[in-house]
Amino acid sequence: MSSFKRIDDEFFIGPQPTDEDLAAAKQRGIKTVIDFRLPHEMATSNAALTASQGLAYVNIPTNKAALSTDQIDDLDRAIKDHAGPFLLHCATGARAALLLSLRKAKQHGWATEQTFCEAKRLGFDLKTSAEFSDFITKTVT
């Protein structure tokens, strides 16, 4: 789990976890893994890997080229419907950071710049991605 950043008591964020990462996640008390990768990105089933560790699994397929506010709602629902703490990931963690930051922006009424700052606190400069930057600007009022 060394490649995962602890955000707070409820959230860890990072790249695709290994079997060892999932075992360490369970030891740290993580209950649910939320995966933002698309089906074609998965060589093996994360659902099966997480189940083998006794962890719940949620997949919210997130395409950088087709971002939707529905994905923010899906994340919110996954967090409400499953036990935490949560391990959020995609290939690098950027999509996970995007959606978690936007969820917080929605909850707290943050402005665009606050949302970018939150993503940076999570370890991701989303301004460097045209798709992410445009989506944040369009989504946050």
pLDDT truncated to tens, each residue of the chain (141 aa)? Answer: 678 999 999 999 999 998 899 999 999 999 999 999 998 887 777 888 899 999 999 999 999 999 999 999 999 999 999 999 999 999 999 999 999 999 999 999 999 999 999 999 999 999 999 999 999 999 997
**In which domain, by residue range, is 69 found?**
5-139
- The per-residue DSSP string of 125-139 comes to -GGG-HHHHHHHHHH
pLDDT value of residue 121: 93
Q: What is the rounded distance in angstroms from the CA atom of residue 119 to the CA atom of residue 60?
A: 19
Query: How many folded domains does the chain comprise?
Result: 1
pLDDT value of residue 46: 84
pLDDT value of residue 10: 96
Q: What is the rounded distance in angstroms from the CA atom of residue 122 to the CA atom of residue 27?
A: 22
Q: What's this model's pTM, rounded to 2 decimal places?
A: 0.94
pLDDT value of residue 41: 85
Identify the CATH number of the domain in which residue 91 sits: 3.90.190.10
